[in-house]
Amino acid sequence: MILAVIGKGGVGKTTVTSLLLRRLVESGETPVLAIDADPSSCLGTALGVAVERTLADMREELRENERPPSMSSAEWLALRAEEALVENPGFDLLTMGRPEGKGCYCYVNNLIRDHLDRLARSYRHVLLDCEAGLEHLSRRTSGRPDAIVCVVNRSRMAAETIRRSLDLFVSIHGELPRRVQLVLNQFDEGEPLAAQMTALAGGPFSGVVTIPRDPQVAALESAGESLLTLSSTSPAIAALGAWEVGL
């Protein structure tokens, strides 16, 4: 399955991606390819994984034609992209890196997309930590997600971003995937505001999960420690525990 985690800036996408990853790895749903598709690239930090090379670095090198003449661009990319893949127990992390500069990137982006499509086939699940909209999903990264995980916080704009992103997805793909989950992040169960946000976000949602504000998440983030080390009694983990993740 390809799962895409989307939402407005700062709502908790990277946090939810990390929690989902932990859930998948713990339940033996491995191997997972975690892709940091947000140019501001924070997933590595949240997971405590050091990232030295990004796919954007390869893209620039490809554009500057640094490959030896004996290799095709696709061969070169397949070889070098390994360097951007950080292996961990149960999952690999791939960081997309900064957005394109000026000029035409169609050719290299097509190569990258083909490469990602091939790469994704060797994993059980692909988990994408996306930037706000869904635009780049159709453009840059592999295929169409089987599940969209929509994250909102208490901001009205966060819910409106989800509505717009889902509308955009339908205008590109004709329909939504069967699984469109809503995550109400930093809410308490049954709050009236949660119902308002759910209505504003549109949907239809195949499931809704509420994650409370979790002091352990905040503490790990401030200390720069991996969210994968969260204790299994943490409120955020407990909230996700009841969720079928749609698998």
Q: Is 18 in the site for Mg ion (CB under 5 A)?
A: no
Q: Is 96 in the site for ligand ATP (CB under 6 A)?
A: no
CB 161 to ligand ATP: min, Å = 11
Q: Is 42 in the site for Mg ion (CB under 5 A)?
A: yes
Residues 6+ apart with CB under 8 A from 211: 12, 16, 19, 183, 184, 185, 186, 187, 235, 236, 239, 240
Q: Is 183 in the site for ligand ATP (CB under 6 A)?
A: no
Closest CA to 200 of 157, 148, 147: 157
Residues 136/51/15/219 CA torsion (nearest 10 deg) = -150
Beta bridge partners of 87: 92
Rama region for 147: left / alpha / beta (φ>0; ψ in -120 to 50; rest): beta
Q: Which residue has the tokens 């908790």?
A: 12
Of 141, 165, 186, 234, the one binding ligand ATP (CB under 6 A) is 186
**Piece of 13-21, 27-35, 54-62, 199-207 that binds ligand ATP (CB under 6 A):** 13-21
Q: Of these partners, ligand ATP, Mg ion, none, which one is at the site of residue 97 (CB under 5 to 8 Å by kind)?
A: none
CB 40 to ligand ATP: min, Å = 6
**How many Å apart are CA 237 and CA 21, to the nearest integer?**
11
**Under rule CB under 6 A, which residues in 16-45 are in contact with ligand ATP?**
38, 40, 42
Q: Which is closer to Mg ion, CB of 39 or CB of 207?
A: 39
**How many Å apart are CA 230 and CA 233, to the nearest integer?**
8
Which residues lie near Mg ion (CB under 5 A)? 13-14, 42
Which residues lie near ligand ATP (CB under 6 A)? 7, 9-15, 38, 40, 42, 185-186, 211, 213-214, 217-218, 221, 236
